[in-house]
Amino acid sequence: MNELMNNQTENKHHLPVMVKEVLDALGCNNSNDDPDSQKIYLDCTLGMGGHTEAILNASAPTGIAIGIDRDQEAIKIAKKRLKHLENRFIVRKGTFQELQDIVRHLGYEKVDGILFDFGVSSYQLDTADRGFSFQKPGPLDMRMDTESGETAADLINRLSEKELALLIRTFGEERWADRIALGIIHFRTEKGSITRTEELENIVWKATPARFRHGRIHPATRTFQALRMVVNREMEQIEAGLSSAVQLLKQGGRLVVISFHSLEDRLVKQTFRALSKKDRKHQDPHYINLYKKPLRASIEENTINRRARSAKLRALQRAA
């Protein structure tokens, strides 16, 4: 474990979350028991390639990993990182809704393991031009795929006060959603369009009552989260991805999901619970929920990687 954490620390740009737990849940560490067996793994959130690299190393020498992401810049970084493993690594640009088409176009019907990591990568957060973080002054973009779709600026300048409040409350679970929405409308009325991350951060800061501005998280965190989720249609994508993933699993195959906030985790929990129930004829379920409660990152990992503190890992296995 210490060696694993040290290897992660060496990568200054990205620390993949709960690597050991992911490998155990996927069963990668057992994939080389049969030298004639070639396991196929699907990383649906390739990012900068941290989890994929770990999967390829654990499933060596025959394991194959298919990495999918809709962020072209992240794909470029991952391909460079995994150059030394390119004979067992396949990468494709796409969304969760395209999983089945991508896998089957590559000639595979089923796979042995599937991973989703719903977090935003450190590369995206640290790149000011992407507009994901209020800590980095930049254009208010937030698109995972910068080649298509509406930006966060487009969205926030188009919606009405009522629509903004509903968005921020629903997807950010923000108690001050009404005040923030009103602040956005006032800014638009007095100064024009909101186009910068620092502008939105300042609006949220002023809309938050003074005694609540210095809590555990920055006041703008939930508003930025809500906008990002809507811009990228994340809940819709997650629902479609989970539906496709369970259909792609071989018998004995495993689906592993890492989520970072309650909306995502609630959807995963409900999906896994429904799939692992006995049917109306009281027959055994086709899927087994591997963990009664989600796994959390170790204390050691939390001290190294703050991002891991909110991570929850759930896993499902296809039984038949």
Task: For 249-263, give the DSSP string.
Answer: EEEEEEEEEEE-SHH
Q: Which stretches of 268-318 are assigned E, i.e. beta strand?
A: 287-289, 312-318
How much is the average pLDDT of 82-108?
95
Both tokens of 96, joined, read 């969760």
Q: For the ranges 11-20, 74-83, 99-108, 271-280, which has the lowest average pLDDT? A: 11-20
pTM of this structure: 0.90
DSSP alpha helix (H) spans, the chain: 2-10, 19-26, 50-58, 72-81, 99-105, 122-126, 152-158, 161-172, 177-191, 197-207, 221-231, 234-248, 262-275, 299-304
pLDDT tens digits, one per residue of 23-40: 999 998 655 556 567 899
Using CA atoms, how far residue 60 sits from 39, 84, 111, 196, 261, in Å, is 10, 13, 16, 45, 33
When pLDDT is cut at 50, 70 and 90, the band that residue 43 belongs to is very high
Return the SS3 of 69.
strand
Average confidence score pLDDT of the chain: 90
> Which residue type is seen at 45?
T
What pLDDT does residue 15 have? 81
Return the SS3 of 193.
coil
Judged against a pLDDT cut of 70, whether residue 8 lies above it is answered with no
What pLDDT does residue 320 have? 67
Residues of the chain with CATH 1.10.150.170: 146-231
How much is the average pLDDT of 91-99?
95
How much is the average pLDDT of 154-181?
97
Which residue(s) pair with 258 in the sheet? Answer: 117, 313
Distance in angstroms (rounded) separating the CA atoms of residues 177 and 207: 9
Residues of the chain with CATH 3.40.50.150: 2-123+234-318
What pLDDT does residue 279 have? 64
Q: For the ranges 31-40, 64-73, 125-134, 163-172, which has the lowest average pLDDT? A: 31-40
* Contact yes or no for 304/19 (Cβ under 8 A): no
Judged against a pLDDT cut of 90, whether residue 171 lies above it is answered with yes
How much is the average pLDDT of 167-190?
97
pLDDT tens digits, one per residue of 258-299: 999 899 999 999 999 999 986 655 555 789 999 999 999 999
Distance in angstroms (rounded) separating the CA atoms of residues 154 and 77: 28
How much is the average pLDDT of 120-138?
85
Residue closest to 201 by CA, chosen among 178, 214, 183: 183
* Contact yes or no for 27/254 (Cβ under 8 A): yes
When pLDDT is cut at 50, 70 and 90, the band that residue 5 belongs to is very low
Residue closest to 131 by CA, chosen among 201, 196, 192: 196
Half-sphere exposure of 318 (CA within 13 A, CB side): 17
- Superfamily of segment(s) 2-123+234-318: Vaccinia Virus protein VP39 (3.40.50.150)
When pLDDT is cut at 50, 70 and 90, the band that residue 148 belongs to is confident
Judged against a pLDDT cut of 60, whether residue 20 lies above it is answered with yes
Fold of 146-231: DNA polymerase; domain 1 (1.10.150)
